């Protein structure tokens, strides 16, 4: 049995997220269908994790198994020829048979882009924020959620995930000329977690004691306590580490 790992980039604007679902177009479905056309068989494509509606990826990882041996260069070329221009296979490699893109992932990282001015070239890939953000204060506040916590308050209410404990290894903000970039790396993420963290941290800027405000949100384990999630258009799955 051969086990192939793909590294995928996609523009999530036109998709209802990564995962296959009824009555909606997903990235996973598009790639699975393309593989079936080439191999003449249906495979199970396992992603490193889900991305929500409208969310993009710079380095999504996935794997599938088949009895067939493929020419890596040719297969990658064929896949990219079939897939639409908003999905690209940037790398293809054969892994050990036991490799699983989801369960073997050690760390995942995301980027969130906030545009500081109106521009037609960034509106699909960033959140236009009209206010001024204090980057130094945002970095100080972000330290509160570093480490291992129960992130129930930052996850969607309707989720099948029972264990909501995640370990955040790195989190920071950076100000560039046109954009503000948020980076976060953790062992795992819950549905809607990154976008809710970004929105809540921005809210914390206007609170007199932002650190205490964030700690109380974590402790209450109630989604109603956290801030509104920022739009999905600015979120990118950046990298998956194994």
Q: What is the largest CA-CA distance in the chain?
A: 61
Nearest alpha carbon to residue 138 among 174, 113, 169: 174
SS3 category, 27? helix
Please spell the DSSP secondary structure of 159-202, one letter per residue: -S----EEEEEEEEEEE-SSEEEEEEEES---TTHHHHHHHHHH
Q: What is the spatial distance between Cα 38 and Cα 198, in angstroms, rounded to a whole number?
A: 41
86 catalytically annotated: no
CB 34 within 8 A of CB 90: no
Letter string b/e over residues 222-240, b meaning 16 or more CB atoms within 10 A of that residue's CB:
ebebbbebbbbbbbbbbbb
Q: What is the spatial distance between Cα 191 and Cα 158, in angstroms, rounded to a whole number?
A: 9
- Choosing from 52, 86, 134, 175, which is the catalytic residue? 52
Q: Chain-centre distance of CA 80, in angstroms?
A: 22
Residue with tokens 């969310």: 55
CB 48 within 8 A of CB 60: yes
Which residues form the catalytic set? 52
């Amino acid at each position: 049995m051969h086990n192939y790992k793909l590294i995928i980039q996609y523009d999530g604007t036109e998709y209802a997220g990564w995962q296959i679902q009824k009555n909606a177009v997903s990235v996973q479905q598009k790639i699975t269908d393309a593989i079936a056309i080439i191999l003449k068989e249906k495979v199970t494509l396992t992603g490193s994790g889900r991305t929500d509606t409208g969310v993009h990826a710079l380095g999504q990882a996935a794997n599938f198994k088949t009895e067939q041996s493929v020419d890596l260069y040719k297969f990658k070329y064929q896949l990219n020829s079939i897939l639409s221009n908003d999905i690209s296979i940037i790398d293809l490699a054969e892994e050990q048979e036991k490799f699983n893109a989801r369960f073997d992932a050690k760390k995942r990282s995301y980027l969130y882009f906030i545009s500081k001015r109106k521009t037609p070239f960034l509106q699909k890939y960033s959140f236009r924020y009209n206010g001024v953000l204090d980057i130094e204060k945002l970095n100080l506040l972000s330290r509160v959620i570093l480490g291992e916590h129960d992130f129930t308050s930052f996850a969607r209410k309707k989720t099948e995930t029972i264990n909501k404990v995640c370990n955040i290894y790195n989190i920071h903000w950076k100000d560039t000329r046109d954009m503000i970039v948020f980076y976060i790396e953790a062992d795992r993420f819950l549905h809607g977690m990154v976008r809710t963290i970004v929105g809540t941290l921005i809210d914390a800027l206007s609170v007199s004691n932002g650190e205490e405000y964030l700690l109380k949100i974590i402790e209450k384990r109630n989604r109603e306590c956290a801030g509104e999630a920022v739009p999905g258009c600015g979120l990118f799955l950046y990298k998956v580490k194994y």
